[in-house]
Structure 1
Amino acid sequence: MRVVIIGGTGHVGTFLVPRLVLDGYEVICVSRQQRKPYRSHPAWKFVTQVAIDRTEAEEKNLFGKQIAELNPHVVIDMICFTLESAKGLAEALMGQVQHFLHCGTLWVHGHSERVPTRESQPRNPFGEYGINKAAIESYLISLSRRKGFPATILHPGHITGPGWMPVNPAGNLDPGIFSRLAGGKEVVLPNIGMETVHHVHADDVAQAFVKAMDNWSQAVGESFHVASEQALTLRGYARAVAEWRGQEAKLRFLPWEEWRKTVSGEEADLTWDHIAHSANASIEKAKERLKFQPRYSSLQAVREAVRSFWEEEYE
């Protein structure tokens, strides 16, 4: 069975491609070939690499045709961010593929209201990324149920792992937060630190894609959350990171409007996105229907990622 992965050299693809090869699939990786996988693996020797610049191809209305010409049985799209892009690809693959899997995001839900959030809860997305991903999900689910297009959408949490900076206890990507907690220095968090982040290891996301393929009848026409077993509060997350080095977290809290003045505009915007969403997702549907079982807790996934950046500090 031939599987085409669009964006297969990204973080999830780094783990997904070897899984598929070892399971006996013929794998074609479509990318701009501007980056190597985050981690080497002998399985990549058996992967066919196809160079396509998606943006350029879509501008010429060629991308869907180019993917269809690869004669895939399964297409996994890791890098679709607009409804127009999703429509162009789905229309080209209609009647041509056995399974189409799209990588979404927990942010399709918008503000968390009842937690842990289930897939069946109403969508109230905000921000360009969440709104676009929610529109893609709605389109693909509708297309599946109306016309039989075999679509499945997986919604990961905050993906992390070796080579990928994790969302930190302040809700942004400043690596200095981890260093300060490890060194017993004060860290200032927004509000009272009770907002949540929900991480997932990239290999667990890869596992979920394979499980969805293995459980086709349960997966088609459905969306699934893919995350660790539990979300973390910012406060609890910070304390756990400090404990890795035998420290007691020295935390101080500021109201949002005061806190945002203590960091750069980019960091403030990223923190706001994370705490406004406060992702906290149920994975019971994926566990029940796909037999998905994450290997990593949120803290285990983060710790592995942090070690890949600062091995000596966190040994």
Structure 2
Amino acid sequence: MKGLFIGGTGTISMAIVRQLAETPGWDVWLLNRGNRAADVPAGVHTITADINDEQAVADKLRDHTFDTVCEFIGFTQDQVERDWRLFRGKTRQYIYISSASAYLKPAASYVITEGTTLANPYWEYSRNKIACEDFLMKKHREEGFPVTIVRPSHTYDERSIPVAVHGKNGSWQVIRRIMEGKPVIIPGDGSSLWTLTFNTDFARGFIGLMGNRHAIGEAFQITGDETLTWDQIHQTIADALDKTLVPYHVSTDFLAEAGKPYGYDFTGGLIGDKSVSVVFDNRKLKRAVPAMRTDVPFHIGVRKALDYILSHPECQREDPEFDAWCDRVIAALEKAKSEI
């Protein structure tokens, strides 16, 4: 079988490509600009092109057909419309990576299934994903375009540690604050529930959907089965570092407002996603992919990530602006407390 990945070198897609390259019976192709060519496994073919240059891509795909095309970098409706033009009649399956953040916030129930309403008034990113899903499913209903929708939640790899609140350079500065014994901002009272998935576990479920006839015209969420509070997540990071966590709980609404002057979108990222307790019901995926399981609980995944990050300086991206912002928020709240 022949699979094409648009992108293919990101947090989620690289794990899939690596596993699929070792899976008998698959011929794996990537379509990207070749920016991470050194990370691509042996035997994987690359079509070097910018997917946004539709005519150039069409020319390079002229002699190709695929069993599955996987879109990892489509964020707006015009991008999936382009894919529909490029791949209709050229693939037996088109898998679109949407997002679990597209589910209604706050949801009517904390248990999330694929049937949960899609609506997120807080985050444009999520609304764009919903629009992409709507377009693709419309094309499936009208002309049989063979789409499968996949909705990941918070998926991570060895290059990054999941945290609730971070700056523009990722989570390293939060790790530094834990290592230095500084207070770490956690939204709300730290008790809201969250699900984290290591990318190799996600890949197992995804590969089971590739070429799977039961997946055509369907949506699947792929997440781990472990649910933790944000306090537990940060405590697990501190335990792995052998440091004492100093949690500082801050209202999500306050964080959303305090972040705006500094370009931090905590309205979308927190109110529209991370601060809402969710538990994912993965029974639909496991019916379609009986081999689906999660082998990397967070206390193991975080150690894998820390081992990698601490030995790779390029992953240690300092963010003094975010560090100063955290100190400023904490100082302002402590001052307000003293004046009550």
Instruction: Give yes or no for TM over 0.5.
Output: yes
The question of whether the paired residues in 2 share the 8 Å contact of 1:189 and 1:259 is answered with: no
1:50 aligns with 2:47: yes
Deviation at 1:73, TM superposition (A): 2.3
Q: How many residues align?
A: 303
Shift of 1:212: 0.1
- Rounded Cα–Cα distance in structure 2 between residues aligned with 1:267 and 1:199: 25
Query: What's the secondary structure of 1:45's corresponding residue?
Result: coil
State how far apart, in whole Å, the 1-side matches of 2:253 and 2:147 are.
42
- Quote the Cα distance in structure 1 between the aligned partners of 2:3 and 2:67: 6
Kept in 2, the 8 Å contact 1:81–1:133? The answer is yes
Q: Which residue of 1 aligns with 2:226?
A: 230
Alignment of 1:1-315 (within 5 A): 1-23=1-23, 24-36=25-37, 39=39, 44-55=41-52, 57-58=53-54, 61-63=55-57, 66-67=60-61, 69-113=63-107, 114-126=109-121, 127-163=123-159, 165-170=160-165, 173-213=170-210, 216-256=212-252, 258-259=254-255, 268-270=264-266, 273-278=269-274, 280=278, 281-291=280-290, 292-311=292-311
TM-score where L is the length of structure 2: 0.78
* Conserved? CA contact 1:110–1:130, under 8 Å: no
Q: Secondary structure at the match of 2:210?
A: helix
SS at match of 1:310: helix
- Report the CA distance shift for 1:62/1:87 in structure 2 as closer, same or farther (over 3 A): farther
CA distance in 1, matches of 2:120, 2:229: 21
Partners of 1:128 and 1:199 in 2: CA distance: 22
> CA separation of 1:125/1:271 partners in 2, compared to 1, >3 Å: closer, same or farther?
closer
Change (3 A) 1:223 1:299: farther
Instruction: Tell me the SS of whatever aligns to 2:64.
Output: coil
Instruction: Provide closer, same or farther for how the CA distance between residues 167 and 272 of structure 1 changes in structure 2, counting only shifts above 3 A.
Output: farther
Residue aligned with 2:155, SS: strand
Partner SS state of residue 84, structure 1 = helix
User: How far has the Cα of 1:174 moved from its partner?
Assistant: 3.3
Tell me the alpha carbon deviations over residues 243-300 of structure 1, each in whole angstroms, 9 at most, x when there is no partner. 2244443223233455568779557424751343136332222122222222222443
Q: CA deviation at 1:185?
A: 4.0
- How big is each residue's C-alpha offset from its partner over 1:192-239, in whole Å with a ceiling of 9 and x where there is no partner? 12334432222222222210025x122111111111113332222122
Question: SS where residue 252 of structure 1 aligns?
Answer: strand
Supply the distance in 1 between the matched residues of 2:163 and 2:219 (Cα, whole angstroms): 27
- CA displacement at 1:122 relative to structure 2: 0.9
CA 1:151–1:263 in 2, change beyond 3 Å: closer, same or farther?
Answer: closer
> Aligned letter for 1:225?
Q
What is residue 333 of structure 2 aligned with on the other side?
A: none
Aligned-partner residue type, residue 175 of structure 1: W
8 Å Cα contact 1:197-1:275 kept in structure 2: no
The 2-side partners of 1:301 and 1:64 are apart by: 40
CA shift in 2, pair 1:264/1:131, >3 Å: closer
Taking the aligned partners of 1:150 and 1:268, their CA distance within structure 2 comes to 38
- Residue 171 (structure 1) shift: 5.8
Give me the whole-angstrom Cα distance separating, in 2, the residues matched to 1:264 and 1:182.
27
In 1, Cα distance between equivalents of 2:226 and 2:243: 23
- Provide the TM-score with structure 1 as the length reference: 0.84
Assess if the C-alpha contact under 8 Å between 2:6 and 2:31 holds in 1: yes
Q: Quick one: which amino acid aligns to residue 226 of structure 1?
A: I
SS at structure 2 position matched to 1:198: strand
Deviation string, structure 1 residues 21-44 (Cα, Å, up to 9, x no partner): 22231122110112236x56xxx2
Native 8 Å contact 1:21 1:46 kept in 2: yes
Percentage of pairs with the same residue: 20
Asked if structure 2 preserves the Cα contact closer than 8 Å seen for 1:68 and 1:92, the reply is no
Distance 1:68 1:99 in 2: 18
- Cα distance in 1 for partners of 2:295, 2:263 equals 30
CA distance in 2, matches of 1:34, 1:302: 27
User: 1:102–1:154: 8 Å Cα contact kept in structure 2?
Assistant: yes
Question: Equivalents in 2 of 1:92, 1:124: separation in Å?
Answer: 28
